[in-house]
Amino acid sequence: MLEIKNLCVSMNEKPLLENINMVVRDGARHRLAGHNGSGKSTLVNTIAGDNSYHIDSGQIIFNGTDITHENATTRALMGIFLGAQNVPEIPGLTLLSFLKHSCIAHTHFETGKDLSMGEFLERVEKACAKLDIPKEWLNRYVNVGFSGGERKRIMLLRLILTQPKLAILDEPDSGADAVVQKQIATIISEMKDTAFLFISHQDAFSSSIDISETTTLDNGKIVIK
């Protein structure tokens, strides 16, 4: 699903990642481990296309296609989902409108067809019921006034609606109580057609997931065991 070859990344000419080689296989539950500042978030944000980071050399191959120089929007439409650790608030944009435009864009990219409002609303209703999300949330502005755990549930809602090929989750357990953590682990288990690359510092949360492989970073390099 994802192959990273000799990836070197910097920001403002400061080296952050050095010669990263890693494979995330189809259907994987791949944990990215390492202490704070080891380069985990840098790596996942670079994979997702954050242009704050500069790729000095190397390649990112996704589903057989070289996406090293593709922008974040294209990567998202191709099937890369990022559940970021720190998500922005978007005053003036309701959650329903945000989800609608996202689903329409993904459907058109994947099938060339338009998504009807009726089909979209049906999908949203089913996903909200699955996650026990109140319909009132849909009329609130994106992430404005939501707690950490509620934001994680909104992330899960986006995840279910877009059904990505690769879901990258940066500390999905952070700021989430035990109930939400269990929801996250359940969704990861159920989405068999999606490969997951996730960061977690909590062994209790990680143990609730059937991890297929672990890659450990230290000071911007992969730790060879």
CA torsion through residues 161, 163, 169, 172, sign: positive
Spatial distance between the Cα atoms of 28 and 25, rounded to a whole number of angstroms: 5
76-124 pLDDT, tens digit per residue, is 999 999 998 888 899 999 999 999 999 999 999 989 999 999 999 999 9
| 53 touches 221 (CB < 8 A) | no
CATH class of the domain whose range is 2-222: alpha beta
- Per the listing, tokens 């990836």 go with 7
- Domains of the chain by residue range: 2-222
User: Residues 6 or more apart from 180 whose CB is under 8 A from it?
Assistant: 149, 152, 153
Can you tell me the mean pLDDT for 174-203? 89
| Residue 216 burial (C-beta neighbours within 10 Å; 0-12, 13-18, 19+) | middle
128-172 pLDDT, tens digit per residue, is 999 999 999 999 999 999 998 899 999 999 999 999 999 999 988
CA torsion through residues 124, 130, 135, 139, sign: negative
Q: Could you tell me the two tokens for 169?
A: 């989750």
Can you tell me the mean pLDDT for 50-58? 95
Q: Is the pTM of this model over 0.85?
A: yes
